[in-house]
Amino acid sequence: MSASVDVAVVGGGVAGLCCAALFARAGARVSVVEPELDPSAPSGPIDLRTLAIIPAAARVLGAAGAWALLDPARIQPFEAMEVWDAGSRGRLEFTPGPQHDGPLGWIVESRQLVAALSRVLEASTASVLADRVEDIEGQAPVNLRLAGGGRLAARLVVAADGRGSPLRALLGIPWHETPYGARALIANVTTGIPHGRVARQRFLASGPLAFLPLPDPHACSVVWSCEESLAARLATLDDAAFRQALGEAFEHRLGAIETSSARACFPLARARAERFAQGAVALVGDAAHLVHPLAGQGLNLGLLDVAALLECLGPPVREGWPRASALGRYARWRRSAALDMTLVTDGLERLFARTDSPLRWLRGCGLDLANRSGPLKRALVAHAMGEAGDVPRLARPQAASPPAA
Ligand SMILES: Cc1cc2nc3c(=O)[nH]c(=O)nc-3n(C[C@H](O)[C@H](O)[C@H](O)COP(=O)(O)OP(=O)(O)OC[C@H]3O[C@@H](n4cnc5c(N)ncnc54)[C@H](O)[C@@H]3O)c2cc1C
């Protein structure tokens, strides 16, 4: 089988599906190639893989038509963030400023986002091919060879095939990855004290430990980033010992940990592709960059890539679309945004890992100062909500009324 489209999106994770939905809405003929798509909406207990979605990224999902399809009963907005340092007792708390009329963000299951975007695509002219890209050749159009024997010709190919991006490797784009020597252990827990719609993070010398609020007022999604040996030990503890270790590491801030789910671990690294575009191929999401999850920004960054790509390229109405200059602008813009985010997350990771006394003291003073300083706090809130720097139009506050979910 051979088909021809304007846009072929390789990878049907959240970034790829959102990109496909936005291009389809812009009038493009779109195909998504994804071997493992599960479009069913989650039911039962909240899934382990949850994501903090910031307002800027929620607007992009809103523009794609997916945000309104999320089940509000399975989403938890958070209205405050509390961060504190085990080494210095420094503490920082922030809430949205008076100019914001929504929360700081939402905790959403990754599967729910995939299900909502799949529904948007089902109702559009886009097609989803349950296949895998095996080879890529040509320039205008680009030809994709699929594992199932089919071929797909496209004017633009979007590589949204994740951290190990086979497409990036096929194109020979260098990938600079530095492992943190750490893993993120995730679990869902219930606590004696309700979370009060606050996202909390305690910085330990071994890494940050986050409790993110879930729809049950006593339930949290836990992300514990720590050295590999500790993560391996935590992953194999029996439930009672795990709950005890977790409660102690979190200073029992939400009381006793009453129940805990299965656990999963993810190896952590920072990485960036050397080029975010090559020929008529653009990289988005984890195929382009990887950041530490301590700021919960990986997918948010990916969704802003998608908005920036749409903005730079526009709809495929003219001959010669996509223009090389527009792809170049996209690549420079988003590579610089990914670098900025890596500097922030990397800097925080290193700063809080240091155990020497003068630095711990300075760190505590810095957190307390930021907590008291209005302008500093406003800048932090703008960053946390994705409203600082060169924000793509679709993600700006004036682009849409704040999502209601
Ligand atoms: C512990 C942890 C917590 C996190 N928390 C947050 C958070 O709170 N907020 C946040 O914004 N981010 C968070 N992140 C980051 C976030 O999970 C990722 O950035 C995001 O899931 C990446 O989405 P993606 O669509 O780019 O890639 P993926 O979700 O990796 O999707 C890639 C897709 O490509 C497909 N694929 C692969 N090869 C091929 C091929 N040859 N042909 C076709 N398809 C192919 C795969 O099947 C897959 O479905 C967290 C990460 C971790 C590890």
Q: What is the pLDDT of residues 223-249, one digit of tens each?
A: 999 999 999 999 999 999 999 999 999
Q: Where does 171-295 have alpha helices with state H?
A: 228-236, 239-249
> pLDDT band at residue 372, thresholds of 50, 70 and 90?
confident
Among candidate residues 154, 206, 166, 188, the one with its CA nearest the CA of residue 261: 188
**pLDDT exceeds 80 at position 219:** yes
- Which uninterrupted H or E stretch holds 9? strand 2-10
From the CB of 112, is ligand 1 less than 6 Å away? no
Comparison of pLDDT for 333 and 360, the residue scoring more? 333
Ligand 1 contact, 55 CB (< 6 A): no
Ligand 1 pocket test, pick from 109, 110, 299, 345 with the greatest ligand atom count within 8 Å of Cβ, gives: 299
DSSP-derived letter for residue 43 is -
The two tokens of residue 198 are 């606050």
Determine the distance separating the centroid of ligand 1 and the alpha carbon of 255, expressed in angstroms. Answer: 33
- pLDDT above 90: residue 87: no
How much of the chain, in percent, has pLDDT values that exceed 70?
97
DSSP 212: E
Least confident interval from 7-11, 62-66, 173-177, 395-399: 395-399
- Are 387 and 56 in contact, with CB atoms under 8 Å apart? yes
Which segments within 243-332 are labelled E, that is strand?
A: 257-260, 264-273, 277-278, 281-283, 289-290
Tell me, using a 6 A CB cutoff, whether residue 305 lines ligand 1. no
With residues binned 3-state (H G I as helix, E B as strand, rest as coil), the percentages for the chain, rounded to 5, are: 35, 30, 35
Query: Are β-strands 30-33 and 2-10 bridged in parallel, bridged antiparallel, or unpaired?
Result: parallel
Tell me what pLDDT residue 368 has. 75
Point out the ligand 1 atom lying closest to the alpha carbon of residue 57: 11
Q: Which of 191-200, 260-269, 308-317, 367-376 has the lowest mean pLDDT?
A: 367-376
Give me ligand 1 centre to Cα 288, in Å.
Answer: 11
359 CA distance to ligand 1 middle (Å): 35
pLDDT at position 157 is 98
CB 116 within 8 A of CB 54: no
14 CA closest ligand 1 atom index: 25
What whole-number percentage of the chain has pLDDT above 90?
76
* Residue to mutate (ligand 1; options 10, 38, 161; most atoms within 8 A of CB): 161
| Residue 166 Cβ < 6 Å to ligand 1 | yes
pTM: 0.95
Measure 166 CA to ligand 1 centroid, in angstroms: 14
Mean pLDDT lowest for which of 54-58, 305-309, 337-341, 370-374? Answer: 370-374
Backbone angles phi, psi at 197, to 5 degrees: 60, 35
Q: 208 CB under 6 A from ligand 1? A: no
The residues near 384 (Cβ < 8 Å, ≥ 6 apart) are: 54, 81, 94, 104, 105, 295
- Using alpha carbons only, how large is the chain's radius of gyration in Å? 21
Whole-angstrom distance, CA of residue 347 vs CA of residue 265: 23
Reading the block at residue 279, the tokens are 């020929």
* Structural element, H or E, at residue 142: strand 142-146
What mean pLDDT, rounded, does the chain reach?
A: 92
Residue 139's pLDDT band, with cuts at 50, 70 and 90, is confident
What does the pLDDT average to over 269-293? 97
3-state secondary structure of 176: strand
**2-77+103-177+269-352+390-399 — its CATH code?**
3.50.50.60
Distance CA 253, CA 67 (A): 32
Q: What is the DSSP letter of 294?
A: G
Say what angle helices 14-25 and 55-63 make with each other, to 10 degrees: 50
Give the pLDDT of residue 399.
61
Structure tokens at 221: 């999604």
Question: What residue segments make up the domains of the chain, in order of their start?
Answer: 2-77+103-177+269-352+390-399
Confidence band of 186 (pLDDT split at 50, 70, 90): very high
Which residues are registered as beta bridge partners of 66? none
pLDDT of residue 88: 80
What spacing in Å lies between the alpha carbon of 385 and ligand 1's midpoint?
A: 20
Region for residue 234 given its phi and psi (left: phi exceeds 0; alpha: psi -120 to 50; beta: otherwise): alpha
Structure confidence at residue 250 as a pLDDT band (50, 70, 90): very high
Structure tokens at 1: 């089988």
Q: What's the CA-to-centroid distance between 376 and ligand 1, angstroms? A: 32
356 CA → ligand 1 middle, Å: 36
Task: Taking residues 59-78, report their average pLDDT.
Answer: 98
How high is the pLDDT of residue 402? 45
Give the residue, 358 or 67, on which the prediction is more confident. 67
Nearest CA to ligand 1 atom 31: 13
Question: What per-residue confidence (pLDDT) applies to 344?
Answer: 80
Contacts (Cβ under 8 Å, ≥6 apart) of 379: 388
Indicate whether residue 160 lines ligand 1 (CB < 6 A). yes
Q: Is the CB of 31 under 6 A from ligand 1?
A: no
164-199 in b/e form (b: 16+ CB < 10 A) is ebbbbebbebebeeeebebbbbbbbbbbeebbeebb
* Residues 305-329: tens digit of each pLDDT: 999 999 999 999 888 999 999 999 9
90 lines ligand 1 (CB under 6 A): no
CB of 11 sitting under 6 A from ligand 1: yes
- Which of 25-34, 111-120, 288-297 is least confident? 288-297
* Residue identifier of the C-alpha nearest atom 6 of ligand 1: 296
> 164: CA distance to ligand 1 center in Å?
10
